[in-house]
Structure 1
């Protein structure tokens, strides 16, 4: 803002240098993001869901036992309606089976869930695995 001879304020009509720098940097950032997204879209291959499970904790609850786990999808495709089956076995005999269904496990992500058992898993074999999924 500048002052004229009569003391009134008037706006500058030419852009300040900082406006030019900000505009150029913003345009470069947007162009780089669009280029990266385009590169990923055309060069990345879609791989079917690849699900793996890691057991976290076993906690006693009021009605049994909760076995918490992480489910990983290392593929580039999302899995929907993922069924996770948990089996509690001892001496080659299945004592209990339970399942949980995830709405989806996104591509290259991790989700956390839990299987609930009535029997104590301590000293028994706990087998938790993905039982199936659908394509979204």
Structure 2
């Protein structure tokens, strides 16, 4: 801290109590974060990707139809190049099949995407499923 006396500046050599408090709280916070990250790294078991798909909405889009969905990865390992296959079916007959590839779906997270169909899905069965992935 600097004091000014008749144009002269003088530094205080003893730190203010706020500086000590800030330093101690910062050290506790950093130690806690390092402890938490270390605990997670050593105790958490790596499980292979566990992918599931939930349809969000179906809407008309341009000359086709868009089916928006979320893909969830409930495992502790990230999946890369995740392929989702969408089928538009009438009874047992597949009318149209498309796929979309996600660069990755992070561990314990979700990603959102959409599959586009030329045919109207109204009154038909839509099947979306994860078809495969690679290890990043």
Considering the TM-score relative to the shorter chain, is it more than 0.5? Answer: yes
- Alpha-carbon separation, structure 1, partners of 2:78 and 2:61: 32
TM alignment of 1:6-17, pairs within 5 A: 8-17=8-17
Matches of residues 19-98 of structure 1 in structure 2 within 5 Å?
Answer: 19-98=19-98
CA distance in 1, matches of 2:45, 2:11: 54
SS of the residue 2:48 aligns to = coil
For the aligned residue pairs, the C-alpha RMSD in angstroms reads: 1.2
Say which SS state the counterpart of residue 13 (structure 1) adopts: coil
Q: Please, what TM-score do these two structures have when normalized by structure 2?
A: 0.95
1:8, CA displacement in angstroms?
Answer: 2.5
Q: Which residue number corresponds to residue 101 of structure 1? A: 101
- Hey, what does 1:120 align to over in structure 2? 120
Aligned residue-pair number: 135
Q: CA deviation at 1:124?
A: 0.4
Distance in 1 (alpha carbons) for counterparts of 2:89 and 2:7: 90
The 4+ residue runs of structure 1 with deviation greater than 2 A are 1-4, 6-9
User: Structure 2 regions of 5+ residues with no counterpart?
Assistant: none
Unaligned runs of 5+ residues in structure 1 are none
User: How has the CA–CA distance of structure 1 residues 10 and 62 changed in structure 2, closer, same or farther, with 3 Å as cutoff?
Assistant: same
Give the CA deviation at 1:55: 0.2
SS at match of 2:94: strand
User: Structure 1: how far apart are the matches of 2:22 and 2:119?
Assistant: 63
